[in-house]
Structures are given as C-alpha cells and as structure tokens.
Amino acid sequence: MIADTPFVEFSAELELYGKQLPTKNKALKLVVTIPAKNESENIWKTLFALANQCSDKNSLPASVYEVLVLCNHCDDDTRDICYLFQEMHPEFPLYIYETNDPKINSVGAARKALMDLASPRLPDDGFIIMTDADTVADKYWLNAFLKTQNTPGDLICGIINLDLRRLNKNVRKQLYQTRQYLDMVTRLESELYPREYDPWPRHSYNSGPNMAIRKSVYREVGGMPPLACFEDIALYQKVISNGFKVKHSSKPVVTTSCRSSGRVPGGFGSQIKNWSESKTESVESLKKLNERFKAFAEIREYYQNPSANLLNSFCFRLRMQASDMQVLLQNHIRSSSLIIYLEQTLKYHIPWNSAYPDIPLEMAIEELVAYFYCFSQTTKSYNSCRSEFINLNKLE
C-alpha cells in the first residue's frame, strides 16, 4: 500500500547563484522546476523556450511564473550558461541554485529539493511544474497550465514529443509501435474503466518532463519521493492512491531529447539502448487488458456497494483468492489505492501471468487494431440502423 505520508521538507545545502529570489509575489501561479546535471549542451534551449512563453495573444506576464534551476553536482559549464542567460534576460524570472551536497544524490532528490523550495511561494491552487534540462516547451506551455487552474485536476500530465533526429530506423519503429500500443491501451481503459474527469480522447504520458501538481496536493501526499529513478511515476501513483484527480491534457506540450546513454538504470535512455540492439518487447494482450480493466471497474464499484458476487468476479478475473483479496480490501481505504497496488503486484502474480501471458508487441497491436476496427464497424452499423429507424418514424 502507498500510505499517506506527512510532508517533510528536504534539508540540503543549496547555494543561490546570481540574482536573489524576490519576496513572495501574490500574482504568482506557477513555478517551473528544472534539475540539471551536466546539461551545458541543452540548457540554453530549455531556458530560451521558457523566456518566450505566450498567453493567447501576448507574452506571458513574468509576474505569474518563476523558473528554478538546480545545478546538481555539475562538472561542466551548466551553471555559467544559466548565469549568462540570466544576465542577458534580466526580466526573465530565472533563479539559479547550485549544490554538491551528497544528500542530493539522485534526480528524485534534486526534484524534491526544488519542489520543496517552490511550494511555500505559491497559493494552494498554484502549480509546481516539473520539466527537464534537455526539454523544450511549446510557447503556450505555461498558458495551458494556467487555463487548467480552475478545472478538475490535481496533477496535470502533458504531451511529451520526442526529438528523433539522432535515432536509427529500428529505434524509431519501436518508439512508434510502443506509442501506438499505449494509445490503444488508454482508449480501451477509457471504455472499460472510465474516469469522468479524465475522459477519452486522452494520452498516457505521466513522466517528469511535463507534469504539474497543485501545491496543496503536493504537500498532502508528502512531496516528491527522492528516488534514484522513476520518482515521477512514484509521485503520480501517490496522487492517485490518495484519491486525488489526474488529468492527461493534450494542451501542455514539450519536446525532449532521446538519449541512448541512460543516466539512470532502467530509465528511458536504457530502453532506447535496448531498442537499438533490437531487443524484443512483450506486453499485455487484449484479453489480459480486458480482464484487468474490468476487474478494476468492479473493485471501484465494490467500494461503493460491496457484494459477494462482485468480490468473486474480480477475484476470478485477477486469479486471486478471495481471502487474500479481503485482506487487501481492509488495508486499502480507497479503491484507487488498491488499484495502484495491484498494478504493481500483478506483474509478479504467477496465476495471473500463467492465465494471461504477455505477447510480442506487434501481435498485441494487431489484436487491438482488430478490436477497435470491429468496434467501429459495430458502432457504424448501430448508427446506420438508428438513422434508418428515425427516418422511418418521420415518414409515418
């Protein structure tokens, strides 16, 4: 279970470099946080995009946002490049921190240090925004977050486009297929396990280059987990587990680099390396996805109206013993918490994986394409019959 965690501010030595952080600004709505470790090749483009943000018609007022960069154990020119950018753009609300504190020994720790700095500067409904130092924001990126401020959504996940220029043909193919698969999985999930605040059409991106969390929610869930990798996914899971709303919005858009040399084991760079070496990938089949999403919908219903029939149904779908499930139901006070737990543990649940083994990515795509084709044909047939029926009624 991902338990409720009290917020504890991260204690580390950070040195402010360049201009000083101003007193708290009542107009401030957004704080962008950027951890940077040896990013001298990329950071200028990242900052340039942020310095040229627009509202619908004009430049975005500098009073509504700030940008905090943490140069974390850098041994290149990252800090000096940030400082030069600050000097050349004095109206741009950029503030540079530097650290060699051994406690900040991972990207998760660096993100937490920055986000904890940002938190007290914002109102409760303001957004702490995450991005990376090798990522370039669309010119309406911050405006998109501003527009979501008065809409449902405690964590906003935006679109992450990839800079494919340095990737070989095989990696591009794998990226395209993976994206195609995930888009169809998201569509299937929206049909079988829908959430009214995050409806289809939506995307499935939920990682650090493009996420924003409300200040009040950030503190409620205990802040950013200071992990060596997948800290962004861990935060995403904590938000859902604690009953808050996640919105996958197509409005905030960024483009990020595709490093083939991963900086953390198991990260996106490692995946690109595997693709470049033509390593095959297995994923959940249509049947496995179908059973999982239906089980999750039944679990949500069970928390509202418990019944033995529902319990037996989702236990059978997940190949779990009812007695084991009842223990989990007692340990998780929210359906969202249990579902996050199951998403992680089902990967290692032998009866589940024996009943529904993973299949090659290309085969899974074929299954989903065929499913949605049949679904669309059925819908067309239904709509055609309905139209004919309406026309007959008109004739009468």
We report the CATH number of the domain holding residue 157 as 3.90.550.10
What is the rounded average pLDDT for all residues in the chain?
90
When pLDDT is cut at 50, 70 and 90, the band that residue 274 belongs to is low
Q: How far apart are CA 194 and CA 185, in angstroms?
A: 12
Query: Which residues span the domain enclosing 322?
Result: 286-355
How many CA atoms, within 13 angstroms, populate the side-chain half-sphere of residue 268?
Answer: 17
Same domain, yes or no, for 162 and 249?
A: yes
Structure-model confidence comparison of residues 66 and 396, the more confident one: 66
Four-point Cα dihedral 206, 236, 120, 82, nearest 10: -40
Same domain, yes or no, for 221 and 350?
A: no
Q: Is the pLDDT of residue 262 over 80?
A: no
Q: 234 burial class (0-12, 13-18, 19+ CB within 10 angstroms)?
A: middle
Same domain, yes or no, for 252 and 298?
A: no
pLDDT tens, 20-56? 999 989 999 999 999 999 999 999 999 999 999 999 8
Give me the pLDDT at residue 394, please: 46
Residue 216 in tokens: 């009040």
Same domain, yes or no, for 101 and 38?
A: yes
Write down the pTM of the prediction: 0.90
pLDDT tens, 67-118? 999 999 999 999 999 999 999 999 999 999 999 999 999 999 999 999 999 9
Q: How far apart are CA 342 and CA 357, in angstroms?
A: 17
Q: Is the pLDDT of residue 382 over 60?
A: no
* Nearby residues of 232 by Cβ (< 8 Å), 6 or more positions away: 111, 130, 206, 207, 208, 211
Q: How far apart are CA 72 and CA 78, in angstroms?
A: 9
Between 72-86, 287-301, 362-376, the lowest mean confidence (pLDDT) is in: 362-376
CB atoms under 10 Å from CB of 146, counted, come to 17
Give me the pLDDT at residue 170, please: 84
Same domain, yes or no, for 77 and 224?
A: yes
Residue 102 in tokens: 């051994």
Same domain, yes or no, for 296 and 256?
A: no
Question: Does residue 116 sit within a domain?
Answer: yes
Same domain, yes or no, for 253 and 301?
A: no
